[in-house]
Amino acid sequence: MDLAIQTQQLKKRFAQRVKGRVKWVEAVAGVDMAVQSGEIYGFLGPNGAGKTTTLRMLTTLLPMDSGEAVVAGFDLRSQAHMVRRHIGYVSQLGGADLNATGWENLILAGQLYGMTSTQVRNRAKELVEVFDLGQIVQRGARTYSGGQRRRLEVALGIIHRPEVLFLDEPTTGLDPQNRHNLWQQIRQLQSTGTTVFLTTHYLEEADALADRLAIMDSGRIISEGAPDQLKQQVAGDVIVIEDSFNPNQLSWMARLLEKEAFVRRIHTEEGKLLLYVADAAANMQEVFKILHHHSLRPQRVSLSQASLDDVFLKATGRSLRDVGQEGEGQ
Amino acid sequence: MTLVRDVRLLFWRKMRETLRQPVWIVSGLSTPLLYLALFDPLLKGLHSPLFGGVHGNSVMNVFVPGILALMAFGSGMGAGWTVIWELQSGVIERFRVTPTRRFSLLMGPVLRDTVMFVIPAALVLFVAHFFGFDLHWLGLIILFILYCMLTAVVSAISGSLGLVLQDIGSLAAAVTGLQLPLTLLAGVLLPLSIGPNWLKVIAHFNPMYYVVNASRVLAAGSIQNAQVWQAFLVMFPLLVVVLWWATRVYGKVVA
């Protein structure tokens, strides 16, 4: 099996009632992708981009409207039962049974995949070790901290050694330390041959974890490739000019620099001006010259590599950080 | 048989949950016992031939089957609430990704509710016996089978409503909105035979009416009775249809 997941024109739309009228919203508008066996594949995009809907279809939870999909070698439509045997899924909600102990959760999860009691007990012990649950596994899951619960939930998702593991926003709500630990464990899983498909709206996460990623917006994949490759597609370098500028000053500066031939694109953020240029080191002098000419002496001028946010920005005209915050406020 | 195994596993999951919260067991028992202690004395003040004459001497023989009906209904009613919690915490979604059949997901809580009807109900019968309730064993066993079917139907409907509505407020409105007319129109507290004709006509559209009628006959020890097979004739197809529908709901729901 070369491909762990393959989709063609995957589509899903939902009826939404707006002021009494039924409006159809295309949550997933024709997704094509091919995930190699053994890779970590990331879905990056703002909330509402259709990441979770895609993932729900791929995990058999939601019927697709149209399109084709093969997961772990089985047809999603006609062999859903076989797909379920070969995948693991950790939802955004988590899914630990809070009224049971961690141990009971693990045992039941394994048994539902048809493991014998000996098999499941050995495997559960192994996972308790890997996810460092020894201290708490006999306690009710309700008493767990956020990080502990996440670890249990990931353990529940892989107890049957799935070929393909789906993780929906796995580190949302975790502190940096727990987040890095989980990244470590996800990489560990990959080294044992598991294909990992994860969604995230954290740029750092996609950058740090994914071998390849698809950037999603409004139900479509707008860009796909290895993180470095994607970043190179955007102008290589960024000059960041920072000071306590007010928005008027910023837009004035933007208009000023826009005219220069070496500036490919300009983006302004709070107190910040980002210039996308072909060769930052060479263009830096020019920028200084222009600024000095207008008696501007910004506090900080720095160089940075294009980030995944810049990739998103180029494709959609919006910054993922801004969109992400909007989404979370909803 | 993976199906039987999965049902057993999921049943015990719910059972452990119940046993961890003894509050529910106590509160489940207190209602019927309070009825016996505080309502029964009122009944004794009434002229028993008015509603008890047909079935025997003791008012209890008419009253206790009605209380059991309330317990059977009440035991299944709460299923929807836990379903909503489990939907919100993602437990149901997690189980739905496993190869487990949707039918076993449904049957775990349904069987738990049934067991949680039988145990306190048996205790109530034991107490009622001291208040003058006659124990007719064979009749009582058939009565319990009938009431277990009722609990299963109510539990499956409540659970499915929870999955469909996904909101505690709407569920509470729907379930309690059904409970009062259904139990009153079944003649739970007083037999409908003493009521006017129009009431009896409406009651015939209520499946629970047949169950409660049959239970009074069964409690009196009469087994070969038209009311008994009528009740089974209503409840069995109803149970099959409800379980089929609820299984489909479990297969489709998305949080």
The tens digit of pLDDT for each residue in B59-111 reads 778 888 999 999 999 999 999 999 999 999 999 999 999 999 999 999 999 99
What pLDDT shows up at residue A95?
Answer: 92
Nearest by CB: A113 against B10, B16, B98: B98
Q: How many CB atoms lie within 10 A of CB B30?
A: 12
Q: Do A89 and B16 touch (CB under 8 A)?
A: no
Q: Which residues of B touch A61 (CB under 8 A)?
A: 93, 96-97, 254
**Two tokens, residue B217:** 């006959």
What pLDDT shows up at residue B254?
Answer: 63
Summarize the confidence of residues A215-227 as an average pLDDT.
90
Under the banding of pLDDT at 50, 70 and 90, the label for residue B212 is very high
Closest residue on chain B to A166 (Cα): B97
A27 vs A325 pLDDT, higher one = A27
Q: Decide if A225 touches B, using CB distance below 8 A.
A: no
Beta strand extents in chain A (DSSP E only): 3-18, 21-36, 40-44, 66-71, 74-75, 87-90, 164-168, 195-200, 212-217, 220-225, 237-242, 263-269, 272-277, 300-305
Residue B165 has pLDDT above 50, yes or no: yes
The tens digit of pLDDT for each residue in A234-258 reads 656 788 888 877 788 888 888 888 8
Q: Decide if B37 touches A, using CB distance below 8 A.
A: no
What pLDDT shows up at residue A195?
Answer: 96
Q: Decide if B251 touches A, using CB distance below 8 A.
A: no
What pLDDT shows up at residue B1?
Answer: 75
Under the banding of pLDDT at 50, 70 and 90, the label for residue B54 is very low
Q: Nearest CA of chain A to the CA of B168: how many Å? A: 18
What pLDDT shows up at residue B37?
Answer: 83
The tens digit of pLDDT for each residue in B180-194 reads 999 989 988 878 888
Residue A23 has pLDDT above 60, yes or no: yes
Residue B53 has pLDDT above 80, yes or no: no
What pLDDT shows up at residue A330?
Answer: 30
Contacts of A224 (CB under 8 A, 6+ apart): A33, A212, A213, A214, A215, A230
The tens digit of pLDDT for each residue in A94-115 reads 899 999 999 999 999 999 999 9
Summarize the confidence of residues A326-330 as an average pLDDT.
36
What pLDDT shows up at residue B147?
Answer: 96
CA distances (Å), A215 to each of A209, A219, A222, B115, in order? 14, 10, 6, 51
CA distances (Å), A190 to each of A41, A150, A160, A259, B183, in order? 11, 18, 15, 48, 58
Residue of B116, B111, B114 lying closest to B26 (CA atoms): B116
Q: Which residues of B touch A91 (CB under 8 A)?
A: 90, 93-94
Amino acid making up residue A109: A
Q: Do A112 and B13 touch (CB under 8 A)?
A: no
Under the banding of pLDDT at 50, 70 and 90, the label for residue A232 is confident
Q: Decide if B102 touches A, using CB distance below 8 A.
A: no
Q: Do A61 and B100 touch (CB under 8 A)?
A: no
Q: Decide if B255 touches A, using CB distance below 8 A.
A: yes
Task: Pick from B10, B18, B98 the residue to mutate for testing the A interface (most A CBs within 10 Å).
Answer: B98
Summarize the confidence of residues A30-48 as an average pLDDT.
92
Q: Which residues of B touch A84 (CB under 8 A)?
A: 97-99
The tens digit of pLDDT for each residue in B22-51 reads 787 787 788 888 888 887 777 766 655 555
What pLDDT shows up at residue A163?
Answer: 95
Residue of B177, B219, B232, B212 lying closest to B70 (CA atoms): B212
What pLDDT shows up at residue A234?
Answer: 67
> What value of ipTM does the predicted structure carry?
0.87
Q: Do A111 and B9 touch (CB under 8 A)?
A: yes
Q: Which of residues 45-64 of B touch A (CB under 8 A)?
A: none
d(CA B90, CA A328): 20
Q: How many CB atoms lie within 10 A of CB A14?
A: 13
Q: Do B13 and A113 touch (CB under 8 A)?
A: no
Q: Decide if B9 touches A, using CB distance below 8 A.
A: yes
What pLDDT shows up at residue B14?
Answer: 95
Average pLDDT in chain A: 87
What pLDDT shows up at residue A244?
Answer: 76
Task: Report if pTM > 0.80.
Answer: yes
Lowest mean pLDDT among A44-48, B90-94, B154-158: A44-48
What pLDDT shows up at residue A242?
Answer: 84
Task: Pick from A54, A60, A93 the residue to mutate for testing the B interface (most B CBs within 10 Å).
Answer: A93
The tens digit of pLDDT for each residue in A104-157 reads 999 999 999 999 999 999 999 999 998 999 999 999 999 999 889 999 999 999
What pLDDT shows up at residue A326?
Answer: 41
Under the banding of pLDDT at 50, 70 and 90, the label for residue B56 is very low
Lowest mean pLDDT among B56-65, B202-211, B225-234: B56-65
